Amino acid sequence: MKLNKEGTSVIILSALIILGLLALLNSLIPIKWIVLILAIMGIVLFGLIIWFFRMPPRTPVIDDNKIIAPSDGKVVIIEKVHEPEYFKDERIQVSIFMSPLNVHAQWYPINGKVNYYKYHPGKYLVAWHPKSSTFNERSTLVLENKEGQEILVRQIAGAVARRIVTYSKEGENCKQGEEFGFIKFGSRIDLFLPLNSKIVAQLQDKVQGSLTTIAEF
C-alpha cells in the first residue's frame, strides 16, 4: 500500500514511541498477559496511523467541463453565500467534511492555473462549525480554467487537525486530479463556485477526491 509522503515523520516517530513504551512496560509489569493486551493496543493504534496516511491508487476523472471533488468525505453544505476573501460577491459554497478515517490528500478539481494562494493561521473549531471557514486555520486557492472561470478551494483545519500542507504556488499550472495538499487528522474542504454552476452532488453524498463530480460549469 502506498503511503503519503506527509506521513513519513509521523509514522517513524509513532513506531519509536510505541516500541519504547512497550519495552518500558514489559520491564515494569510482571503480569505478561497485561503486557500482551497493551502490545495489541499499540499495534492497532499504529495500524490506524498507517491507514490514515494511505494513498489508494486512482485514475482521476479528466473533463474540462466538470469540477471534481478535491477530497474524500461527505458533502455537508450546499448553499449560496457571500465569499469575502477573494471574490467578495455571492457564490455557491459546497463543503466536504473529512473524518479521520478518510483519505486526507487533496487533488485539483479543475485544469488551469493558480491565480491566488494565501495561508491563514487561526482557531481550531470543529470542522463542521459554520464559522470554521473564516475563523479556523486555513489555506485558500483560486483556480482559473482556460475559459477564464474561477473557483475557490479552501483547506480548513478542524478540532483535531493541526497542520495544513499546500504545495501550490501562484502562477503555476494546475492539473485536474493532481495532488495539491494534505490535512492531518480530520478537516474540511470548501469550494466556492460560480452561481451558474450546475451542482451535481447532493447533501450527505459521500465523495472521492479526483473521482466524484461535484458540479459542472
pLDDT, one tens digit per residue, over 69-115 is 999 999 999 999 999 999 999 999 999 998 878 888 999 999 999 99
CB-based burial label for 115 (10 Å; 0-12, 13-18, 19+):
middle
Active-site amino acid positions:
187
CA gap 165, 78 in Å, rounded: 25
Is residue 144 very low, low, confident or very high in pLDDT (cuts 50, 70, 90)? Answer: very high
Report which listed range, 1-5, 58-62, 126-130, is most confident.
58-62
Is residue 185 very low, low, confident or very high in pLDDT (cuts 50, 70, 90)? Answer: low
What is the secondary structure of 86-121 as a DSSP string? Answer: TT-EEEEEEEEEE-TTS--EEE-SSSEEEEEEEEE-
Tens-digit pLDDT profile for residues 25-78: 778 888 878 878 888 888 888 888 888 788 888 999 999 999 999 999 999 999
- Choose among 95, 72, 112: nearest CA to 210: 72
Is residue 196 very low, low, confident or very high in pLDDT (cuts 50, 70, 90)? Answer: very high
Q: Among 68-72, 114-118, 126-130, whose mean pLDDT is lowest?
A: 126-130
Residue 125 has pLDDT above 60, yes or no: no
Per-residue pLDDT at 104: 85
pTM exceeding 0.85 = no
17: amino acid identity, one letter: I
Per-domain boundaries in the chain:
5-52, 66-216
The 10 Å CB-count burial string (b at 16+, else e) for 119-148 is eeeeebbebeeeebbeebbbbbbbbbbeee
Per-residue pLDDT at 123: 60
C-alpha cell at 26: 514489559
Domain 66-216 has CATH 2.60.40: no
Cell numbers 492539473 correspond to 175
